[in-house]
Amino acid sequence: MAENKERIGVYVCHCGTNIAGVVDVEEVARWAKENLGDQGVVISKDYKFMCSSLGQDMIQADIQKEGLTRVVVAACSPHLHEKTFRVAAERAGLNPYLTELASIREQVSWVHKDKVVATEKSKAVVAGAVSRVVMHEPLEPIIVPIAEPTLVVGGGIAGIQAALEIANAGHPVYLVEREPSIGGHMAQFDKTFPTLDCSACILTPRMSEAGTHPNITLLTYAEVEQVDGFVGNFDVTIRQKARCVDTDACTGCGICEQKCPKKVIDDVFEVGLGYRKAIYTPFDQAVPKYPVIDRENCTYFEKGTCRVCEKFCPTDAINFEQEDEIIEINVGNIILATGYDLFDARRIPQYGYGRLANVFTSLEFERMTNAAGPTSGDILLRDGKTVPKSVGIIHCVGSRDRNYNNYCSAICCMQSLKFAHLVDERTSATVYNFYIDMRTPAKDYDEFYQRVLDEGTLFVRGKVAEVTDAARISGEEGKLIVQVEDTLAGKQRRIPLDMVILSAALEPRHDAYETAHKFGIACSANGWFTEKHPKLDPVATMTEGIFIAGAATGPKDIPASVSQGSAAAARVLSYIERGELALEPVRAMINQEQCSGCRICNDLCPYNAILFHEDQMVSEINQALCQGCGTCVAACPAGAITGTVFSDKQVFAQIDGLLFLEKSALVPEMA
Amino acid sequence: MKYLFYPGCSMEKSAIPYLMSLKAIEDKLSMELVELEDWNCCGATEYSAVNRIASHALVGRNLAIAESMSAESHTLVAPCSACYLNLSKTDHYLQEDRIFKARIDDALAAGDMSYTPGSIEVRHALDVIYNEIGLEKIKANVVKPLKGLRVAAYYGCMIVRPDLHGYYDSHEYPMILEELLEALGAEVIDFPMKTHCCSGHMTQISGETAYELIRRLIYGATRYEADLMVTLCPMCQLNIDAYQSEANRYFKTDYVMPILYFTQLIGLAFGIDAKDLGIGQEFVDPRPALAKIDVEVDEAPAATKKRRVKEEGLPMPQMPGKNGGGD
């Protein structure tokens, strides 16, 4: 039908020797011209690098001179250059979706050795593409306007950085944090490696900048409940948990906290090593300065009496009747910087955490060394008095271990070195590091390792078998004994110590999967948020308008988290500056007449793009949310869903084309 | 609930009290143990190193008998850790390795037998009592809580490692025996050596090595002020109990750390007479420990007499041991 009208150009790429080394490209080009004329091929050429400017110019010139209506490029995978050739066609005045890339590199030359077979297979692939491209329809990009405000979820250093970048460029930002203060894990540390900067000193200026920035709306003690819409136009529902403190009246004087009679163990900021009150700010430099009442532990909420904070508050800011508030906002883009959880060291019972008093986790030790922490920065045993004479630091606790997490947590080596240095600086204790491999790859990191070596820290290479208080000989009594195979000395060692620190793994947030689902993005098998491309697009996701940054995408140290925060902000800014975004028109559509309302597609859609009309009992695909993955198209039992660029018609045409050579020499030679 | 039952050789000789106590609590736990007909040796710990195929064919025969009796139950209970491990290993390899399976099939066919891998579920008695019968059932039967008795739960190595079917909570630091003993009312100590080696058959090969391994355990349990150790393995019980005096002599120490089977403690808590649980046959006298929970044991322990026999039968390889014993 269409074959008489269409004028198709076929362009076969050598890709240097990548393709031409195995495929006789000249023969493929010649064959296409001679044999596919009935399908509409009027011109067929080969060229050394079709993706070069000269190659593209050649295609453009042919479109204009020869009046081509369709273009097939036989080269690499569409992942690499589909866009290149679509844009080239568009420059020559052809609708970009009337092109087709036939992969004869990834699917032919790189997987075959036999030249004859490879050449014949290339012909089939080209014939398939030619049959298919005839069925293509011209498509127009979907233009969506981009709302200016941005939502940043997570107020750790990555989120703060992203928020500041966007705010400083003059655009509004909502920064949502579920704890009462921003600051994240970095606020818990005393020193940062390898420079030993005071963590608070470099973080708090950023925190207060974020807190006072005219373009940043800070929503702490708040969580995102629901996200609807799509890039440029997200409707976000946020639950502002009741602080029971009127922030307009509160001056942050702290009297309520002083006077509150209820002391509770602080499991979050002090990781169980210290106390806070029932009305509290997590730490002195908290941003915002307003405290919150922990309703679960507040005596008033438990017993109905007390109200001491209310009595002492000089500005009448305490409001026990305050309720959670639902805030609705509209944003154009979202950055998720939700960070990590620390591995629960109790999961490795043989290391004794939770059983043996003087086994600490890395975060507990961070708090201990912090001048504002529970011991005012003194390194002490659990009794709160005794200075240890010997300290062991165990690396890779829950990391690089097939029983827990296979991955390397990236920060633990450097963190352990920092701990060793701090112990050396503040006590006269002997320090052991028990490591599997030392990993110190970034700027000035290995130099820091050398420095700690020079300070006399002892390094034992081997995975610790157990930490026990079960003494075997008299010298071991009352100590923690580390049983370890010293793989450099080639022997088992038992080292009695006063204190053991477990450098625990970084794990995805316990609710990472729920968060990912809420925002319509994916998680890796481990639970880290998945990037659009791990190397070339590390802060974007497969969902347009949702970006990710910091440790939520995988274990990361501070410099890497900050870089990602900035990178995500840069991506968002480019969208905001453009004001609108052209989305690929590769979409699925439901023919509502054919839809039976079975809802099978509803849950399968990875982008939450399908909504169901209860009244008409039919499903509909949101064109801005749909990413054209095709899952629903394949799943629809009624065949009611069509995907542009992957319709049944197009796929069957391609199969017909592939089988064009069925009776030729291909089959016997392949066998 | 019916279970197929593989006692293994220990239960008929050195671990008779284990069998007695298991049988004594069977009814109260609503278990019915149906003994395999004409069962044979499990190959113990060494045979598979000597002749892999023959040793597994030996176990295969037991599995084949179990399958032929599977109208009774598909679950085969082995109270001995070594038997349990050998049975579950053979079943596992038969499922994993086709060549291995062909050779075992050949061997079984010679005796007109066959076994379908995976058709029998091999479980240890502790696992069945904890996971299948459950703590609620046990608590409901406790009439004489073991209040005031400090116990060290000792698993040994074989039931939690490699735990091919994932029945246990941890390979390194399991807690199910502790939970069970707590349900009986006992005070359970945190015993860090719970999965350490009891020395296995090292007592027969190198006394020196064995005594050190035994010493660590009894030293550890003593330091944590346990009244007694509780085990689930005949080999562990034998080594800690029968060789304790040897270890003491070798190191010139005087530890007294009795060791009983968990089934015996269940029986005591259920109010069963100590004698019916086989208590009183130990080398290391548990009576002072059991006196704390008002358990009286009529018969004098057979320890003294039997230990002499052992002493004469096993020459001390080292001078310090001999000197120590000669005092």
Nearest Cα to Cα of residue A68 among A118, A111, A120, A130: A130
- Chain-wide mean pLDDT for chain B? 90
Q: How much is the pLDDT for A670?
A: 45
Distance CA A93, CA A189 (A): 59
B55, pLDDT greater than 60: yes
**pLDDT, position B295:** 86
Asked whether the bond before B162 is cis by omega within 30 degrees of 0, the reply is: yes
Distance from CA of A461 to the nearest CA of B (A): 22
Q: Which residue has the tokens 């000035």?
A: A444
The reported pLDDT for the residue numbered A65 is: 95
Contact: A470, B172; criterion CB under 8 Å: no
Best of B163, B169, B172 to substitute, by most chain A Cβ atoms within 10 angstroms, is: B172
Distance of residue A360 Cα from the nearest chain B Cα, in angstroms: 18
Contact of A420 with A440, CB cutoff 8 Å: no
- Residue A29: its H or E element: helix A25-35
Which pLDDT value is given to residue A44? Answer: 97
A469 touches chain B (CB under 8 A): yes
Is some CB atom of chain A closer than 8 A to the CB atom of B116? no
Tell me what pLDDT residue A583 has. 85
- The residue in chain A having the minimum alpha-carbon distance to the alpha carbon of residue B218 is A472
Please tell me the predicted confidence (pLDDT) of residue B307.
44
Judging contacts by C-beta atoms under 8 Å, the chain B residues touching residue A472 are: 216, 219
Point out the residue among B172, B173, B192 whose CB comes nearest to the CB of A469: B192
What does the alpha-carbon distance between residue B191 and residue B193 come to, in Å, rounded to a whole number? 6
Contact of B193 with chain A, judged by CB distance below 8 Å, is answered with: yes
DSSP A632-647: HHHH-TT--EEETTS-
pLDDT, one tens digit per residue, over A377-403 is 999 999 999 999 999 999 999 999 999
Q: A323-376, pLDDT tens digit by residue?
A: 999 999 999 999 999 999 999 999 999 999 999 999 999 999 999 999 999 999
Residue in chain B closest to A476 (alpha carbons) equals: B220
Q: Determine the Cα–Cα distance for residues B262 and B244; give it in Å rounded to an integer.
A: 19
CB-based contact, A470 to chain B, within 8 Å? yes
pLDDT in tens, A585-638: 888 999 999 999 999 999 899 888 899 999 999 999 988 788 888 899 989 999
The domain made up of B2-124 is a member of CATH 1.10.3720.10: no
Q: What residues in B contact A352, CB-CB < 8 Å? A: 192
Nearest CA of chain B to the CA of A482: how many Å? 13
Distinct helix (H) and strand (E) counts, chain A: 18, 34
Q: Which positions in chain B touch A350 (Cβ < 8 Å)?
A: 172-173
HEC secondary structure over A533-595: ECCCECCECCCCCEEECHHHHCCCCHHHHHHHHHHHHHHHHHHHHHCEEEECCCCEEECCCCC
Given B172, B173, B193, which is nearest A470 (Cβ)?
B193
| Mean pLDDT of the region A520-547 | 94
What confidence tens digit (pLDDT) does each residue in B282-315 have?
Answer: 999 999 999 999 888 876 555 444 444 444 445 4
Q: Which residue has the tokens 């609710």?
A: A511
DSSP string, A193-238: TTTTEEHHHHHHHHHHHHHH-TTEEEEESEEEEEEEEETTEEEEEE
Best mutation target, A347, A351, A466, A473, to test chain B (most B CBs within 10 A): A466
Q: How far is CA A90 from CA A68, A78, A83, A347, in A?
A: 12, 17, 10, 58
Q: ipTM of this model?
A: 0.71
Q: So where are chain B's domains?
A: 2-124, 142-326
With CB atoms and an 8 Å threshold, state whether A470 touches B223: yes
User: Bigger pLDDT: A585 or B80?
Assistant: B80
Whether A260 contacts A309, CB under 8 Å? yes
Q: Say yes or no: B223 contacts chain A, CB-CB below 8 A.
A: yes
Nearest chain A alpha carbon to B219: A472
pLDDT at B304: 46
Query: Strands, DSSP E only, in A267-380?
Result: 274-277, 279-280, 292-293, 325-331, 333-336, 340-342, 359-361
Please indicate if any CB of chain A lies within 8 Å of the CB of B172.
yes
Q: What pLDDT score was predicted for residue A608?
A: 84
Q: Please, how many CA atoms are within 13 Å of residue B160, restricted to the half-sphere of its CB?
A: 19
The answer, for A471 touching chain B at a CB cutoff of 8 Å, is yes
pTM of the entire structure?
A: 0.81
Instruction: Indicate if the pLDDT at residue A671 is higher than 50.
Output: no
pLDDT at A504: 97
Tell me the per-residue pLDDT of A116-159, one tens digit each, with 9 for 90 and over. Answer: 999 999 999 999 999 999 999 999 988 999 999 999 999 999 99
Listed residue (B30, B34, B18) closest to B120, CA to CA: B34
CB contact under 8 A, A468 and B193: yes
pLDDT of residue A474: 80
pLDDT at residue number A327: 97
Sheet holding B187-188, edge to edge: B187-188, B150-153, B228-231, B259-261
What is the mean predicted confidence (pLDDT) over B80-97? Answer: 96
* Lowest pLDDT segment from A80-84, A121-125, A643-647, B88-92: A643-647
pLDDT confidence of residue A4: 56
**Residues A324 and A244 sit within 8 Å (Cβ to Cβ):** no
Residues of B in contact with A470 (CB under 8 A): 192-193, 216, 220, 223
pLDDT of residue B322 exceeding 50, the answer is: no
Mean pLDDT of B60-78: 97
What mean pLDDT is predicted for residues A507-534?
Answer: 95
Query: What are the Cα distances from residue A144, in Å, to A141, A604, B172?
Result: 9, 25, 57
Long-range contacts of A591-599 (CB under 8 A, 24+ apart): A591/A640, A591/A641, A591/A642, A592/A616, A592/A618, A592/A620, A592/A640, A593/A640, A594/A638, A594/A639, A594/A640, A595/A619, A595/A638, A595/A640, A596/A637, A596/A638, A596/A640, A598/A637, A598/A638
The domains of chain A, with CATH numbers, are: 2-139 (3.40.50.960), 150-340 (no CATH), 343-507 (3.50.50.60), 588-644 (3.30.70.20)
Q: Which residues of A217-242 are buried (b: 16+ CB within 10 A; e: fewer)?
A: bbbbbbbbeebebbbbbbebebbbbb
Residues of B in contact with A469 (CB under 8 A): 192
CATH number of B142-326: 3.40.50.11810
* Residues of chain A above pLDDT 90, percent: 88
Going by pLDDT thresholds of 50, 70 and 90, the confidence category of residue A41 is very high
Q: Does A241 have pLDDT greater than 90?
A: yes
Instruction: Enter the DSSP assignment of A245.
Output: B
- On whether any CB of chain A is under 8 Å from the CB of B216, the answer is yes
Which residues of chain A make contact with B173, given a CB cutoff of 8 A? Answer: 349-350
Which residues in chain A have Cβ-Cβ distances shorter than 8 Å to B190?
Answer: 355
The size of chain B, in residues, is 327
A373 Cβ contact partners less than 8 Å away, ≥ 6 residues apart: A190, A270, A273, A274, A366, A367
The per-residue pLDDT for range B168-221, each reduced to its tens digit, is 989 999 999 999 999 999 999 999 999 999 999 999 999 999 999 999 999 999
Percent of chain B's residues with pLDDT above 70: 91
pLDDT in tens, B127-166: 999 999 999 999 999 999 999 999 999 999 999 999 998 8
* Position B229 pLDDT exceeds 90: yes
- CA distance to A3, A132, A285, A635, per residue, from A649 (Å): 15, 8, 63, 17
One-letter amino acid of A637: P
A466, B220: Cβ pair inside 8 Å?
Answer: no
Residues 6+ apart with CB under 8 A from A622: A230, A609, A610, A611
CB atoms inside a 10 Å sphere around CB A302:
13
- B-interface mutation test, from A468, A477, A482, A483, most B Cβ less than 10 A away: A468
The answer to whether A392 and A356 are in contact (CB under 8 A) is: no
User: For A179-191, what is each residue's pLDDT tens digit?
Assistant: 999 999 999 999 9
What token pair was written down for B185?
A: 């009312």
What confidence score (pLDDT) does residue B324 get? 40
Task: Supply φ then ψ for residue B164, to 5 degrees.
Answer: -60, -25
| A468 contacts on B by Cβ (under 8 Å) | 192-193
Q: How far is residue A616's CA from residue A102's CA, in Å, rounded to a whole number?
A: 42
- C-alpha dist (Å) from residue A435 to A96, A146, A645: 55, 49, 53
* Average pLDDT, integer, range B261-274: 97
